A and B are shown apart, each in its own frame.
Chain A
Amino acid sequence: MTDQQNYWNPVLETLPLEKLEKLQLNKFSRIFQWAYNNSKFHRSLYDKARITPDDIQSLEDIRHVPKVEKSMMRDIQKKDPFPYGDALCVPLEEVTEYRQTSGTTGQPVYQPDTWQDWEWWAECWAYLLWAQGYRPADRVFIPFGYNVFVAFWAGHYGAEKIGCEVVPGGVLDTKARILKIQELHATALMGTPTYILGMADTARNQMGIDPAELTINKITCAGEPGAGIPSTKKRIETAWNAKVYDHAGATEIGAWSYECSHQPGGMHVNEAFFLVEIEDIDTGEIITGPGKRGKMIITALDRMAQPCVRFDSKDIIEWASEPCSCGRTFRVIKGGVVGRADDITKVKGVLLAPSAIEEVVRSINGLGDEYEVIVENAGDAEKITLKVELMPDSTDRRKSIESKLTDQLRLKTNLRYDIIFNDYGTLERYEVKAKRFKDMRKK
């Protein structure tokens, strides 16, 4: 294999749109038929909606297939067979993989996979890693405690599949991980943006090691929207002197999207393996063109043990208007996943996405990477408090930083904030799934 091979699969990744749509329709029909025949849950859902596999003749027909919500998956789990319930499409003895969701939004959902499904997970990751420039000569360090969650198991297997050497940095602490990267001359990293930034901070401030002088040249971020937020991406790239690529996936869905090495300002959807529909939150209509945000309804076209058919992911995305210069015909979602339908909240009558605050905080020199947002009731009104950290070498610029921060927040979010400057290092640090947005109004 040579670097002249730009695509993991040049056949599918460059299919013209009409052929891609034909492939998606055929594959949707196949997985729909599979779920209809083998899952009691799906059969019951579709019978109630009076829809059968024969009704799927066009992509428009797919819009009549009922959506599946995460709460439904939780109810399914109360049924047999234990512990997965009646969406399971294969005998239990064919299940080789157990994973579960993090439970951020409620009771975790259990996810069974067969070995074939697990090969598919790795295949999805192979697409994304290849697009990000991973090649067999890479030594990939994964600074992550593997456990019941899918992160970064599939990344590990995907990297192995394309021929990389994988170093599992699981139970090592942050300092030991940095030393191991230094010792082995690792070339690539995978992690959450929060943790990758935290690692750089630890290396610089606690170990006297400049992460930019280590051998890491590319970093794949997942689990949070950070690598799709320009100011956060820039901070990580500067800290490590490496390219940073965004990726989005989910336990119940699979690894469905990725930023390629051309960094088009968004992520490609792997449209040969997934069907992504964007639904207008207000009208429920499917948005087919660029320029309008909605929530993602997604189908994993080849996942068999527990099918993912028209899953309401709540991710907020929009189609980009321009194709990517990399030559892939897989469409791009602009800015990646820009939020979640259940994260975007109204404050003082204005829609607020927490990622917009992060974009502002991390665009300002002199502020640390961490921040915290607290929304609370103050009498009849609502109050937003933003806590940030002032870098030790910027304390004399506090007034100008505060002024810039206030102006930018007003510009980007149309809201006013009470800003509190904390000493550097005093806000909570996270390894995974940072919880920086605290809405106290609901308590």
Chain B
Amino acid sequence: MMTTENELKKIDDKIKVLRNTAEELKGLAENIPTITRNTSRLLASVQMMELNISDCIDFDI
């Protein structure tokens, strides 16, 4: 099933929310290693979604 441009945009919007949330969380918990390290890992996963979807939106592919 093909994914429409509109659907991709919605996915990308949610990926951006995830990144913002994870970065905000990391900032809030600077003194709590379990949160900072786990958000670092989370951000690496977010990055993979960006490579797979967001790049297409950001580069207007």
- On whether the beta carbons of A23 and B44 are closer than 8 Å, the reply is no
Q: In the complex, A337 Cα to B21 Cα: how many Å?
A: 43
Within B1-60, which residues are at the interface with A (CB < 8 Å)?
Answer: 2-3, 8, 40-41, 43-45, 47-48, 51-53, 55-56, 59
Q: Which one of A27, A119, A272 lies within 8 Å of B45 (CB-CB)?
A: A119
- Asked if A11 and B56 sit within 8 Å, CB to CB, the answer is yes
Question: Is B61 a contact of A22 with CB atoms below 8 Å?
Answer: yes
Report chain A residues within 8 Å CB of B44. Answer: 114-116, 118-119
- In the complex formed, the residue of A with least CB distance to B11 is A11
Closest chain B residue, CB of each to CB of A117: B44
Report Cα–Cα, A382/B3, bound state, in Å: 61
Residues of B within 8 A of A26 (CB): 55, 59
Residue of A nearest to B51 (CB): A302
- The chain A residue with its CB closest to the CB of B41 is A115
In the complex, A411 Cα to B3 Cα: how many Å?
50
Is there contact, CB below 8 Å, between A116 and B52? no
In the complex, the chain B residue whose C-beta lies closest to that of A10 is B3
Nearest neighbor of A5 in chain B, beta-carbon distance: B1
Distance in Å from the Cβ of B19 to the closest Cβ of chain A? Answer: 13
Query: Any chain B CB within 8 A of the CB of A12?
Result: yes
- Distance (Å) between the CB of A116 and the closest chain B CB? 4
Tell me, yes or no, whether A15 is within 8 Å of chain B by CB. Answer: yes
What is the CA–CA distance of A57 and B43 in the complex, to the nearest angstrom?
A: 30
Chain A residues within 8 Å of B2, by CB: 10
Would you call A422 an interface residue if the criterion is a C-beta within 8 Å of the partner chain's C-beta atoms? no
Nearest B residue to A16 by beta-carbon distance?
B61
- State the main secondary structure of chain B at its contact with A: helix
Closest chain B residue, CB of each to CB of A118: B44
A120 at the interface (CB under 8 A from B): yes
A12 and B40 contacting across the interface, CB-CB below 8 Å: no
| Contact A23:B51 (CB < 8 A) given known A10-B3, A11-B8, A115-B40 | no
With known contacts A11-B8, A116-B47, A119-B47, A27–B61 Cβ distance under 8 A: no
Q: How far apart are the CA atoms of A120 and B47 in the complex, in Å?
A: 9
Query: Which one of A11, A19, A119 contacts B3 once the chains associate, using CB atoms below 8 Å?
Result: A11
Provide the residues of chain B in CB contact with A114, threshold 8 Å: 44
Q: Decide: A22 and B52 in contact? CB cutoff 8 A.
A: no
The answer, yes or no, to whether A107 is at the interface (CB within 8 Å) is: no
A273 at interface by CB-CB < 8 Å? yes
Nearest-neighbour CB distance to chain B for A12, whole angstroms, equals: 6
- A151 to nearest B CB, angstroms? 22
Q: Contacts A9-B52, A10-B3 hold; do A116 and B59 have CB atoms under 8 A apart?
A: no
Q: How far is the CB of A94 from chain B (nearest CB, A)?
A: 9
Interface residues of A in 106-145 (CB under 8 A from B): 114-116, 118-120, 123
Choose from B51, B56, B59 the contact partner of A123 (Cβ within 8 Å). B51
Chain A residues lying within 8 Å of B45, measured Cβ to Cβ, are: 119
Q: Are A120 and B55 in contact (CB under 8 A)?
A: no
Bound: A27/B54 CA distance, A: 12
B48 & A12 in contact (Cβ 8 Å cutoff): no
Give Cα A273 to B3, complex, Å: 20
- A11-B52 contact in complex given A26-B59, A115-B40, A116-B43, C-beta closer than 8 Å: yes
Sampled A-B contacts (17; CB under 8 Å): A11-B3, A11-B52, A11-B53, A11-B56, A23-B56, A23-B61, A26-B55, A27-B59, A115-B41, A115-B44, A116-B43, A116-B44, A118-B44, A120-B47, A123-B48, A123-B51, A123-B52
- Listed from nearest, the 4 A-B pairs whose CB atoms lie closest are A116-B44, A26-B59, A119-B44, A115-B44
